[in-house]
Amino acid sequence: MPGKRVLIAPLNWGLGHATRTIPLIKKLITSGCEVILACDGVAGTVLRNEFPNLAYHELPSYQIRYPRKYHTLFWIKQIPRLVEVVSAEHDATSRLVQKYKFDWIISDNRYGVFSDTTVNILISHQTRLLLPPWIAPVANHQLKKWITRFDECWIPDLPPPDSLSGKLSTPVSGIPTRYMGLQSRMHVCPGIKPAYDLCMVLSGPEPQRSLLQDRLEKLHLEDSFKTTWVLGTPDRQVSSGSGIFSHLNSSGLNELLCDSGVVISRSGYTSLMDYYRLGKKAILIPTRGQPEQEYLAQLHGDKAGFARCEPESLDDLPRLVNMLLPQPDPLRKPCPDFLSELLGGLT
């Protein structure tokens, strides 16, 4: 493994794809690999802030903004744009490979980031799209074509029956599929007694991120609970004196989550991995138009330490907070990490 030159390229779709590659990047660096980053937008900003000494390259952006009111046809209309960007990022990858002569490419949900001259790994927890039956077969057929361009698919999860992603990550025929373990940059901070009742963690594509922030602000939860915010806007700075942060690096967010009794956030998969790693209580609000978030909120919302709140029912949040706050932090199984084994098996 030492001396390998590796391209890491996470998707800029919220911050989760970028943040869950942070443990992998650190593992590669400590193993003696040369790591080069490629991304775009706010996810790229996160990676550059975490690893300011690593070379970074901008990839084509998907630039998809969720509508204020979701309809299934939204995704149908996006297909030409998705195909176009996958092709464009493949062209950009070819130029980077020509320049750097990579040994490995590790792409987190960027289906155009691969090369015929490298070992190509796709990281994805979503190998099956949960869409209406009239479009699901076509969409999943295209998804499989993209996935099987890679040499291996790594799922950031535990094998069944301990899987967090459920039926989202059904193994794909035609490509070796391996489990990475839960990929969280968080770790438990022993002995901390929470100073905050609530931590609001916002993320995801616009305008839905801003819409949720506006709606939560109108609830004035800070009148009843000691509250702190992480806005999920690393490209926009705000004063942190009032307990409101535009963005925090890994250690800062880790400390703040440990310092909070309950987290309110979207039901993104990376967030779920963080809460399981920390044994953290959380209220999950799915994003309308993201079927995987709706599924994950339903799958985990009734488990110990979790509650689900639909976007149309945010007025119910005070009751849910009061329900969760007195409960002890949930005891969860240890989270094995298979990264060393997976990386050791690459050539």
Question: Tell me, what's the pLDDT at 240?
Answer: 52
| Average pLDDT of the chain, as a whole number | 91
Q: Considering only CA atoms, which of 99, 78, 96 is closest in space to residue 39?
A: 96
Question: Tell me, what's the pLDDT at 165?
Answer: 96
CB within 8 A of 164, min separation 6: which ones?
157, 158, 182, 269, 272, 273, 276, 300
Question: Tell me, what's the pLDDT at 80?
Answer: 81
**Is residue 147's pLDDT more than 80?**
yes
**Is residue 65's pLDDT more than 70?**
no
Highest mean pLDDT among 206-210, 250-254, 335-339: 250-254
Domains of the chain and any CATH numbers: 5-185+336-344 (3.40.50.2000), 196-324 (3.40.50.2000)
Starting at the edge strand that comes first in sequence, how are the strands of the sheet with 177-179 ordered? Answer: 56-58, 34-39, 5-10, 104-108, 119-123, 152-155, 177-179
Question: Tell me, what's the pLDDT at 317?
Answer: 98
Question: Tell me, what's the pLDDT at 204?
Answer: 84
Confidence of residue 235 (pLDDT cuts 50, 70, 90): confident
Starting at the edge strand that comes first in sequence, how are the strands of the sheet with 244-245 ordered? Answer: 244-245, 227-230, 196-201, 260-266, 281-285, 306-308
336-347 burial, b if ≥16 CB within 10 A, otherwise e? eeebeebbeeee
More confident residue, 108 or 333: 108
**Is residue 71's pLDDT more than 80?**
no
Residues paired with residue 121 on neighbouring β-strands, in sequence order: 106, 152
More confident residue, 185 or 71: 185
Q: Residues 93-115: pLDDT tens digits?
A: 999 999 999 999 999 999 999 99
**Is residue 196's pLDDT more than 70?**
yes
